Amino acid sequence: MAKLTFRIWLLIIALILAVLAISPWLSLEKGVLIKSVEKNSTFFNEGIRAGMTLTSINSQQINNIEDYSRVIGSIFPLKEETKITIIADGNTFIIFTNETLKIDISALPTSKIKTGLDLSGGARALVKPEQSLSSSEMSDLIAVTSNRLNVFGISDVTVKPVSDLQGNSFMLVEVAGLTSSDLKDLVSQQGKFEAKIGNDTVFIGGKRDITYVAKSGQEAGIESCFQTDSGYVCRFRFSVYLSPEAAERHANITSKLSLNLSSTGYLDKTLDMYIDDNLVDSLFISEELKGKATTQISVQGSGAGAAKEDAFNSAQENMRKLQTVLITGSLPYKLEIVKLDTISPVLGKEFTKNLILLALVVFAIISLVLLIKYRKIKITLSVILTMFSEALITLGIAALINWNLDASSIAGIIAGMGTGVNDQIVIIDESISSQRESLKEKIKRAFFIIIGAFFTIIAAMLPLFWAGAGMLKGFALTTILSVSVGILITRPAFADILKKIQKE
């Protein structure tokens, strides 16, 4: 048996590492993946979020979907308020409820490869700030946007900076399982919150002035619903805790106010709340708070609808949006949505299915052409196996760096594989040429051609990596990865394999 060369061993090690990077079954993680949690349910308000791994309910271990179904069937439905203990992502959630479990689950991923919206479905927005931003300012914008989406309860969120060839900066927001209209509402509005007394600002949204915003329990909820001539109105209330600086600001401003002569027990000005410079509500200020540095205030608002249920849902939605803006603060810059897309997950599944089928057809055609051309099954198999190895290693690297594979990324892998086949044909043709040179010299000449082509591809892909506001970044990156894997690992290994075949 011929000894394996260093280059062939390097290929084998790279393949093993790629399998380790891709395969989640090598980890000992058990449980089920929470895909979604009904917003404004008790479970959502207690902090359970999509993307968590659920491992236990009421001390009963959940290893898979079958365990989950069995445990849920033994607990629900509930006839009265019951204590439910849920462990997800290592955190324990104790919930008292009579609701059904408003959580959708799925099996843990069968692969560590992350797919983009083209394959998994969702919404994507390409957003441009109205002013030019530095890298640090763009980082601040991305941090606030990500925080706002996370507070909203969305999982599978990607927010990243991109740019085009002219140097224009953009923010690319990709969210799985969301409609374009929902994403537009979340991203396009700046959400600048200000609480004013007259023309004086008492506090603004964000961590500087606000230390805590109540979202559930006795300090937050729908207070009352009543019928009007046009339908129903429901009012909400929640507590907000201010920083000492904001409380002192409140004391200084209110100390200058007078008593309201028409409304006994209140000061003559109201606390006005603005979002994006639009007045959303005004609250009376008790005379007891005159000149007092209070750190707790009660924020109120309402929602309306033709039916009582519609008004209730509207009030909850308005309360949630106001809480989100108060928690996260305003987006630091005004934004313009340049492009907005919605991708159906059904189309993604069909695309993946057709892509796999097309790849198999292409591999079959390539194999047949190579077999006809060279009339050697070993050479044909070595080309096909090397091509598969290159794709697998590229996927392993993508999984390792958590790159989302979309349609353009997969196209880049295919392009790299095509380049690999072309390079292997160059090596084969040079090795069997009639020139009177040693096999080593022939392969060396082939690699001179291949390396020249490699640098040409890299030179062509680097501009694409920055062009198109990042939309072509996936194609450029995976193409660069694929051809780099080829030039560093698979092509040298193939050359050694070909030498062994030639000597037989």
SS3 of 211, please? strand
Long-range contacts of 273-281 (CB under 8 A, 24+ apart): 273/193, 273/194, 273/195, 273/196, 273/299, 274/192, 274/193, 274/194, 274/195, 274/196, 275/191, 275/192, 275/193, 275/322, 275/325, 276/189, 276/190, 276/191, 276/192, 277/192, 280/322
Nearest one of 161, 202, 178 to 36, comparing CA atoms: 178
CATH fold, domain 122-190+337-342, is Alpha-Beta Plaits (3.30.70)
Round to whole Å and give the CA distance between 449 and 433: 15
pTM: 0.57
Instruction: Delimit the domains of the chain by residue range.
Output: 6-23+345-503, 27-107, 122-190+337-342, 193-330
What string of DSSP letters covers 293-336?
--SEEEEEEEEEESSHHHHHHHHHHHHHHHHHHHHH---SS-EE
Crossing angle for the helix pair 377-400 and 6-22, to the nearest 10 degrees: 50
- Owner of token pair 């409380």: 247
Provide the CATH number for the domain formed by 6-23+345-503 in this structure: 1.20.1640.10
* Per-residue CA distances from 329 to 39, 332, 403 (Å): 21, 8, 29
**pLDDT (tens digit, 0 to 9) for every residue of the chain, 504 residues total?**
457 889 999 999 999 999 888 876 555 578 888 877 776 677 877 778 777 889 999 999 998 888 888 888 888 777 788 888 999 988 888 888 877 777 878 777 777 777 766 676 677 888 888 788 887 778 778 877 776 676 555 556 778 888 776 777 888 888 765 666 667 766 766 667 788 998 899 988 877 888 888 877 778 888 889 998 878 999 998 888 999 999 999 899 999 888 887 777 888 888 888 877 778 778 788 888 889 888 888 888 888 888 888 888 888 878 877 787 777 666 667 778 888 877 666 666 677 778 778 778 877 888 888 888 888 888 888 988 998 899 999 999 988 887 777 777 888 888 888 888 888 888 888 887 766 777 778 888 888 888 888 898 888 888 777 664 455 777 888 889 999 999 999 999 998 988 888 776
Is it true that domain 27-107 has CATH number 1.10.260.40?
no
